[in-house]
Each structure stands twice: as structure tokens, then as C-alpha cells.
A and B are shown apart, each in its own frame.
Chain A
Amino acid sequence: MKKYFAASGLVLMSFQLNENSVFEAYTQKIPGTEVTFDMTPIQGGTFLMGSNDPKFPDQNPAHEVEIDAFWMGIHEVTWDAFELFLDKHYEESMTEGGVEERVDGLTRPSLPYLDMTFGMGKEGKPAVGMTQYGALQYCHWLYLKTGIFYRIPTEAEWEYAVRAGSKGRFFFGEDPSKLNEFAWTESNSQGSTQPVGKKKPNPWGLYDIYGNVQEWTIDLYEADFYSRSGKDNPFNPADKLYPHVVRGGSFKTPEDQIGSAIRKTSDPAWKRIDPQIPKSQWWFPEAPFIGLRIVRPLNPPSPEEIQAYYNQAPIADY
């Protein structure tokens, strides 16, 4: 069944089974390089999204949602992979046999005028500070490199994945004191991102999903969206630049602001100190805590729909 982005008329989920896909965990190699990342299958199903907690009206009401199957990255995207996308010459120097011609026309990020690692280091650590558009174009680059349709998750997919069948505040129950076993947060991170995969994963095998960096979703944030979002693979198309939904906690998030249903938002203040006009489409110089985790729908949309999805024009930011 087709699901459309109301604003852009794009198909995200699809109708046509990819006969070649075997739905199991796999390691994706970025061709010509040593860089790999791991994807794990998230079986489709139904779950109760949000909560009826009156303290968090934007989680209300808890509502039943059906999610199609997808793979999800077991780790947040690291600088090791993201940096190949940033700089064409660097990618060329790191790619045996040269970069494919089809990658040549890709829109690359303007390189940031600040140190976007914020002094926190790169190796094995999550890439940070990119805009949602930057996250989308990273997926575009991956598609050109691998031929596989990757994207960022919908808010519903993210919550379905983090819950892994659980119904409470955390996938491990209600006890916040156990969070330290699973997540880098304000209380244990020493104020910095940490290498991915050092804490225990959730039952799907997803690491750092409550901590380290917050993660982009596709959705526009609207506090009352759940009252009208519908059941079937819901998402809220983003026709504005702010606020988009970000999920999960980061190395800067206090533990009391972390939970499976907690919704956070992008903020124009993250670009406050960008001295250029128009402000960068690519970078948030005051958001060292935002990163991304990618998904791959089991049933990808058509090539035309994929092109349309990746080629969405960015919204100018003044």
C-alpha cells in the first residue's frame, strides 16, 4: 500500500517486494574502502506508540501503530563513514579503484567553518552537528555508493525499534538507575561523545539508542500529531525547517529526559552563531549532540520515488 508524503508527494514505504532481499542482519561495506557498518532486521508489527502520561501531553494519546519491516543501523553513523561523504577529494583518496562516476554529481556539504567535532574526536565516534538535510544527503551518497535505499527513520519507526516490544519508560523496565548500563548521558559521558557500541544494546541489538547522540527522524514535530496520525506507518511530513523530531538522548542529556516515548525537537538556536547568510544548509555549529542512525525499508520504493526523495530541495535558512 502506498504511503505519501503529503507535502512532497513522495513514497517512502512501498508496494513492491524486493525479491532479492534476505531479511537478516548484514554488514554493509562502502565500496572501495575499509569502512563498514552493520544493519539488523526489525520485523514489522504493531505497537502502542506514545503514552497517556499527563506530564507529557505531546506523547498523548497512546495509540496503536503498525510498522512495516525495515533494517536499522545497530550503531549511530560514525565520522569514519560520514567524512568520506563530506569531501570529494578525500573520498577519492580513500577509495580503491576511484569513485564511481554516478557519485560525482552529488551535492556535497559545504565544509564547516568550525571544527564540527567540537574537540571531541572522530575515530569510532558518532558524526555530529549535521542538519536533517545533511543526514538525508548522506543517505543519498550511500545510495549512489551501494545502490541500496537508505534513509533516516520515521518517528514511529524509531519508537518501535527502541521499544522492541516493551511498554514502559525504557526497554529494560522502569528503573532509571540501570540507564548507565545502556547509555552515555550527562551523568557518565564526561561531556563528550563516546565511541559507539561500548554500552549494552536493546533487544533488537541497537546500541546507544538512549544516549551518545540524539538521532534525526523524518518527522515534523507537532505536539498534537498523535491525536490524528493514524495507524499505518504514520509520519508527519516536514514542510517547514523547524522543528523536526529528534529522538533519544545524548551525552549532554540529563537522565530524567530520556525514555522510549520522549520527543525532542530541532531548534533554530542551534544555528545561532553561524555568521553567514543564508545560514548553512548543512551544519549546526551549536549542536554537538545531534547525529543520525539510518534505516532501510524491506520493501524499497521505486527508483523514481527514491530520486524524488533524495532530490528534495533544502529550505533556505535565514
Chain B
Amino acid sequence: MKELNSRRDFLKTSALVTGGMLAPSFLVPGAYAAPANELKLAVIGCGGRGTGAVFQAFETGHPIKLVAMADAFQDRLDNSYKAIFDKYGKDKVDVPVEKRFVGFDGYKKAMAEADVVILAAPPGFRPSHFEEAVNQGKQIFAEKPMATDAAGIRKVLAAAEVAKAKKLNVVVGLQRHYQNNYREVMKRIHNGDLGEIVGGQVYWNDGGVWVRERKPEQTEMEYQMRNWYYFNWLCGDHIVEQHVHNIDIANWAKNSYPIKAEGTGGRAVRTGKDHGEIFDHHVLTFTYADGSVIHSECRHFPGAANRVDETFQGTKGKVFLSAGNHGVMTDWKGNPIYTHNRDNQPNPYQVEHDELWATLVKGEYKFADAENAAKSTMTAIMGRYATYSGKVLTWDEALNGSVDLFPDTLAWDAMPKILPGADGYYPYAIPGKTKVI
């Protein structure tokens, strides 16, 4: 898949704008002169993760200039800009006020300023942001997950094909793909060192994430956007937003995607008005075309035992993997097949940028992460459909699901489709009753 791109294609913005802006600086002795190969970056979604991704881009050491930013919220954008500017300064950060786009639509204008875009808004926006970035011909770093419902996934899959045709690099922040223990183990699994993978278990069981409480001055739209983790049109439920990491590892180990899902879930302990509509636990069985079965569990139960890792069983042996750099392969007698050395491992969040930007500065085309990321996200969405409905779902049924969670209108005074009842609590899925596709 390694193909040389015409670097002129994607450096066009860079060359034109840089040329124009550089002219006056020649008049100022000692002024900053952009390297000829400098790449222009825009960040869409300026929360902690988007800001972190900008830092990681700069830490690659390649010639990068941040030229535009977009966020729905002024305060999020301002805090992000300040953190980036304070750390990297005016030579790397050139985002005048008119290039800081606040609101729902700013992303298009921000992207137009750049060669490369970071997509880090809440997951519900990813399909439209990804599609627009591809249409504008931008190189892309996109955070996971890729969507929150099947309609979004279909949009991403279509755009992913266009991205391939245009040879746009796409790296997705499923960072285990950029972590050595996973890479080394998967190489060996695909080499047959464990025989056929017949089963596995993937977990994200822990105490949960942040909650942002409602403030009296907020419209319903603003409240949901601030407390986005708890609304499916924005987050997709924690099975999608978080557990996608582990489900994706199952798909990677199997080198395929499940053909059906069945499972159970609900709201056992996280049941407040601040907790929107998402479940606090999902337990799934994913069946693959060859009949092998992956068990998946995710829950947000404070006080209960934590477990975040992946295990797989093959005909010749088994493996234990975790984001803490575990990669322990043994045969069925307990003899080691491969044990990953956990010491001094690189930071996968940095590696994904190191590899992407090294490719971009050379004008090469190497990364097409979007399709797998969309299909692993779809696997998690299918899991949510199964736990919400209580029904057995096939891949095709799930992928063709017609329920669209997204609001008809994006505006601060517009209403999302999910609304609280008179008692302040949001309705949530009832298995056996709720329609999901």
C-alpha cells in the first residue's frame, strides 16, 4: 500500500498561503521564515484530546504550523489556544482571532486553511467532519470512534473509499494499532503461532468517566453538548466511545468482523438525571463467520473490580494483552511462545503522530485506517443495538439500520431528539421494547 503521492497535491494550500504570508516577513530582519515544506494544521474539536493531539503533532519535530481551530464552544477553544500558544509560541501557532471558528459550522472554514486536519470533536460529529475533510482533500488524523449510529458509519465508509482514491492519509486514534505489544502479538497470531483463534474475551470494566452537571442558563442543546458522554447521538454509549478499543482488538485478532451480536445490558448503578440515556453495562457475544465467539464486557461500576484487557484462545495456545504493554503468548502446556518486554515502551499516542507526520513530510501515502476503524466502531454499535433491543442482530441488519439519532437542526436553541421527561430523567432503552434499527 506504500505509494508515492504527488506532494504538490496536498501541499497546494501550504505553498499558496505560505507564499502570500511570507512576503512581508522578508522586510523584517530576523523574522521567522517558514521552511518550504511546512505543513499547515487545523484542529477541529479543541477539548483535552484535540489539544493533546496538536501537542503530539508538534512533538514529532516536523515543520508544522497550526493555522486554524474550530470548536462549538468559545471557552473550549480559548483554553486550547492558550495552552498551545503558551507552549509552542508564535513561530508554530499562527491562529489569529478570525481563524478561530466557534459554533457548529466552523469546521469547514477551519479545514480550508490547512493541509492536515485533526478531528477530535465528540464522536457524533465525526462522520460529517470526516466527510468534509475528505471532500476538501485533507490529510487526516481522526480520533475514535468514527460514528455513533449506522447512518454515520455508512457515511464514513463511503468517505473512506474516496480518501483511498484520493490517496489521503488517514490515521485513526485506535492507538493500540500503534503500540508495540499489540503489533508484535498480532504479527504472531496472523502467522499462526496460536493456531486458529477460536474464542476470546475483551473487557473495559472500570468506574466510569466525567459528568458535567446542568447549569440553569444552558439550553437543552448546550447541556447535551457539554455533558456529551451521556447522549447517544454524541457519544454512542460507552460501549462505542471506550470499549471500541477492545472490540477492535478482537477484530484485529480475527482479521474480520462479527456476523452477529446478542447480549444484555442496562442501567444498574448510574441512574441519575446527570446520566442521560446511556447504559452502565453491556455484555455481548459476538460470533464470527467461522463460528468462533468473542465475549465482550464493558461496565462503569464504581467500587467493583476493574478489568481492561483482551485475551484470546487459539488451537495451539493463548494470549493476554493490555494497554499496559502486556503481550503474553503461551501454549496450552504453559510454555512461553512470546512475552513482550514491557520496559521503556514508546507512547502510542505519540507514535501515531510520529508515523503519520513522517509520511506527510515525505509526501507519501501509507495510512488508510478509516475503514477498519469504521467497521470496529460498527461492531460496537451493533453491540449497543443488541443490548438496547434485546434482539439478535446480524451485521447487515445493523449496518443498514435506519434509526438516525442526529438532531434535525444543529443550533443552540434547537432541540435534540432525546429530551428529559417532566421529572428531569431521560428515557433510556428497554430491552424487548426499544426499536434500534
Contact = CB atoms under 8 A, between A and B. Distances in A.
Interface of A: 83, 86-87, 89-90, 93-94, 110-119, 121-122, 272-278, 316, 318
Given A83-B207, A275-B52, A117 B306 contact: yes
A119 B303 contact: no
B308 interface: yes
Given A90-B302, A94-B303, 20 more contacts: A83-B207, A83-B302, A86-B207, A87-B208, A89-B270, A89-B272, A93-B269, A111-B209, A114-B323, A115-B205, A115-B308, A119-B309, A119-B324, A122-B306, A275-B175, A277-B55, A277-B83, A278-B48, A318-B86, A318-B87
Interface in B278-310: 302-303, 305-309
B206 interface: yes
Given A89-B272, A273-B348, A318 B55 contact: yes
Contact of A122 (B83, B84, B175, B305): B305
B49 interface: yes
Contacts of B84: 277
Contacts of B205: 115
A112 B84 CA distance: 23
B205 to A, nearest CB: 8
Nearest to A92: B272
A278 B210 contact: no
A98 to B, nearest CB: 14
Nearest to B179: A273
A269 to B, nearest CB: 10
Task: Point out which of A121, A122, A318 has the most chain B C-beta atoms below 10 A from its C-beta.
Answer: A318
A111 B208 contact: yes
B55 A87 contact: no
A118 B84 CA distance: 31
B322 interface: yes
Contacts of A275: 49, 52-53, 56, 173, 175, 349
Contacts of A93: 269
B219 interface: no
Contact of A277 (B51, B309, B324): B51
Contacts of A90: 207, 269, 302-303
B347 interface: yes
Contacts of A110: 210
Task: Point out which of A90, A115, A119 has the most chain B C-beta atoms below 10 A from its C-beta.
Answer: A115
Contacts of A318: 55, 83, 86-87
A83 B208 CA distance: 12
7 contacts: A89-B302, A119-B308, A273-B348, A273-B349, A274-B52, A277-B84, A278-B48
A274 B55 CA distance: 12
A89 to B, nearest CB: 6
Interface of chain B: mostly helix, strand, loop or mixed: mixed
A316 B175 CA distance: 25
Interface string B193-221: 00000000000011111110000000000
Contacts of B48: 276-278
Contacts of B302: 83, 86-87, 89-90
Contacts of A112: 206
Contacts of B52: 274-277
B117 to A, nearest CB: 18
Contact of B305 (A118, A121, A272): A121
Contacts of A87: 207-208, 302
A221 B349 CA distance: 30
A34 B372 CA distance: 48
A116 B208 CA distance: 11
A114 B308 contact: yes
A274 B350 CA distance: 10
B303 A83 contact: yes
B83 A278 contact: yes
Interface in B319-361: 322-324, 347-349
Task: Point out which of A112, A272, A275 has the most chain B C-beta atoms below 10 A from its C-beta.
Answer: A275
Nearest to A80: B303
Contacts of B173: 275
A94 to B, nearest CB: 7
Contacts of A121: 305
Task: Point out which of B56, B80, B86, B211 has the most chain A C-beta atoms below 10 A from its C-beta.
Answer: B211
A86 B211 CA distance: 12
Contacts of A272: 347
B284 to A, nearest CB: 19
A119 B51 contact: no
Nearest to A279: B52
A118 B342 CA distance: 13
A266 to B, nearest CB: 18
Interface in B52-86: 52-56, 80, 83-84, 86
B49 A115 contact: no
Contacts of B87: 318
Interface in B354-380: none
A113 B173 CA distance: 14
Given A272-B347, A276-B52, A278-B48, A111 B210 contact: yes
A137 to B, nearest CB: 15
